[in-house]
Amino acid sequence: MSEKTTPAPLSLSQGEAHVWLVDPTKITNTDLLQSYFPLMNEEESIQQQRFYRERDQHRYLVTRALARTTLSRYIRRNPSDWEFVFNEYRRPEITPTQQEIPLRFNLSHTQGLIACLVNLDQDAGVDVEDITRNTGVMNIANYSFAPGETKALLAAQQEVQQHLFFVYWTLKEAYIKARGMGLSLPLNRFSFHRSTQSTIHIDFTPDFDDHPQHWQFLRYQPTDQHILSVAFHRPNLPNFTLRVFWVTPLQSYREINLTPDAQTN
């Protein structure tokens, strides 16, 4: 859909979430990129220039453009006018004076993909990872994962071990981002497992203050290179429904039919 005219605000109901995806490597038009700079506030502009590598500067610029233009799809506000506050763990939220509706958002990025998740009221988190990047999966798992997850990785055939690692990692990241506490939550105090190939379950250690029934998880593979996981806190609520969009900020977007590879019951 073209965005040359100002579209009507998108509706978002309770129990519905949208995730907006962009491949920053595909955004190379100089004029379009120049139009993203005025969207950032002073602090963001300074942060963007702090990145040493041009690739990281580019990704940060596109991420800020994605976040600000996405929020303006739901509330009529110039993307450059959004203001944010941060909790003690540096999770950003819309400043309360700009919340005509209880809009929540969460961001994630990796090489070749940026995601912005939007919903109302409830805590939610998104994580995307490039499954082709080289990483010492067992070293990380031995340090960070729960014993059952590490055992499953060790039992996996070598050609699928890295993929399984990123399945666990994106689910864990989505959960801690939804909690708004980042890596202050110990990753080995909760674990994921699959009763079937397409069913996700979360378990907590007995001293961990949470309950599996309060959470919904969805996992997707939007490209051959990427895994995406989302987590929704929905105690006493039905499961969320999710719509997925590919977007070029300030230019065009299209909704896609993306079926989850796995989800909670």
Q: Residues 165-186: pLDDT tens digits?
A: 999 999 999 999 999 988 888 9
How far is the CA of 168 from the CAs of 148, 160, 175, 197, 224, in angstroms? 11, 13, 11, 13, 17
Q: Return the exposure string of 128-164: e unless at least 16 CB atoms fall within 10 Å of the residue's CB, then b.
A: bbbbeeeeebeeebeebbbeebbebbeeeeeeebbeb
pLDDT at 209: 87
pTM of the predicted structure, to 2 decimals: 0.94
On whether the 17-263 domain is CATH 3.90.470.20, my answer is yes
Report pLDDT for 89.
85
Sorted by where each begins, the domain ranges of the chain are: 17-263
Beta carbons within 10 angstroms of residue 225's beta carbon: 16
pLDDT-derived band at 7, boundaries 50, 70, 90: low
Q: How far is CA 6 from CA 143, 222, 252, in A?
A: 49, 28, 12
- pLDDT, mean over the chain: 93
Length reported for the chain: 265
228 closest CA partner among 187, 202, 263: 263
pLDDT at 90: 86
pLDDT of 1 above 80:
no
